[in-house]
Amino acid sequence: MPDLVADNIEKQLGTAQVLCGVSFQLQQREILALLGPSGSGKTTLLRSVAGLERPDAGKIELRGKIVFDAGSGFEIPAEQRGLGLVFQSYAIWPHRSVFENVAYGLRLRRARETDIQKRVGEVLERLGLGHLGDRYAHQLSGGQQQRVALARAMVYNPPVLLLDEPLSNLDAKLREDARAWLREIIKQTETSALYVTHDQTEALAIADRILVLDRGRIQQEGPPEQIYAHPASRFAAEFMGSNNRLDGTLAEVVGNRARLTGEGWSLWGELRAEKKAQDAATGLVRVERLRLTDNAGTNHLKMKLRSALYLGERWEYVFYLAGLRIRVWGEERLAEGEYWVSFPETSLWIF
């Protein structure tokens, strides 16, 4: 039985239709990421599951128990759903110690003091906060505050964890570390989690499965490697990864292959949309799929190096050909001049 089922959820805010019949399931011990740009509806969907927003249509079940049904008007309040919530702002009470912040949910549930001491102590130790129980929010780093918010959500063993951009307030380096330990902790506790983020790298690293949302609709659903390597739409392809975009016209269409042309260039790629010859089209290719080569082979373009950016672990080159601008990654500094850039046909997706 899934831990969470959302069926045909709709929500309108003002004149905007924020959710347009979204349906999904969260399996036991699964981390499901809701991924999309600002305004895609991901946070509204999470808040609907939490009971903080009331959908206009649809049904929500937690472990087989209906908590919301628009058709019958039935709704269980947020405080009775027993879900663990971790917000972007952490929402830690500054006048309470770490221990009391984490214990708050248990005290609301009138747990025995001996149970509170035991369960809070266990979760603080698990999250590396055991020595910080007496400290207050202003005495903690951003990463420590984030762990306190997670501990407070996990201490009463909720059926589902709901995390809304939980790492967005951390600096870049700390966020990289947090991705690893956050997934590890959720998996160790065998908790299922619904995870909202606009950060594709975060979703790829943490989630078992991803829902890509845009304008209140699911554009694609699947495991991270499938979402990245086999995008189902132009939106999904552009949103994921670091891409080069080539706008042009289809000169030829042969089955699922097509030749895309522009000013001074022509390239073959995989056709991913219903198109015919002479239609305008857009080609997308991941930056890491391009290579520099020494010859003028098939799907190679001779391009002028405009700039080279040193990124530490790699170089990023910017090449131009007429109005075409292409980024390529490499391992060494390049001298000014012209170079052949190879575009693998199977990696150039044409929409």
The residues spanned by each domain of the chain are 4-237, 243-350
From 50, 230, 166, select the one nearest 221 (Cα to Cα).
230
Q: What is the pLDDT of residue 127?
A: 87
Question: What pLDDT does 290 receive?
Answer: 98
- The matching CATH number, chosen from 3.40.50.300, 2.30.30.90, 3.10.290.10, 3.90.76.10, for 4-237 is 3.40.50.300
Contact between residue 137 and residue 93 where contact means Cβ atoms under 8 Å apart: yes
Both tokens assigned to 317:
């080159």
| Alpha-helical runs (H) found in the chain | 42-50, 98-108, 113-126, 142-154, 172-188, 200-206, 224-229, 234-239
Q: 243-350 has which CATH code?
A: 2.40.50.140
Per-residue pLDDT of the chain (351 residues; tens, 9 = 90+): 999 999 999 999 999 999 999 999 999 999 999 999 999 999 999 999 999 999 999 999 999 999 999 999 999 999 999 999 998 887 888 999 999 999 988 998 888 999 999 999 999 998 889 999 999 988 998 889 988 999 999 998 899 999 999 998 888 888 888 898 899 989 988 899 999 999 999 999 999 999 999 999 999 999 999 999 999 999 999 999 999 999 999 999 999 999 999 999 999 999 999 999 999 999 999 999 999 999 999 999 999 999 999 999 999 999 999 989 999 999 999 999 999 999 999 999 999
Per-residue model confidence (pLDDT) at position 168: 87
Residues in CB range of 91: below 8 A, 6 or more apart: 149
Q: Which residues contact 327 (CB under 8 A, 6 or more apart)?
A: 242, 244, 287, 290, 316, 317, 318, 319
Task: Count other C-beta atoms under 10 Å from residue 65's C-beta.
Answer: 10
The predicted pLDDT at position 339 comes to 98
What pTM, to 2 d.p., does this model score? 0.89
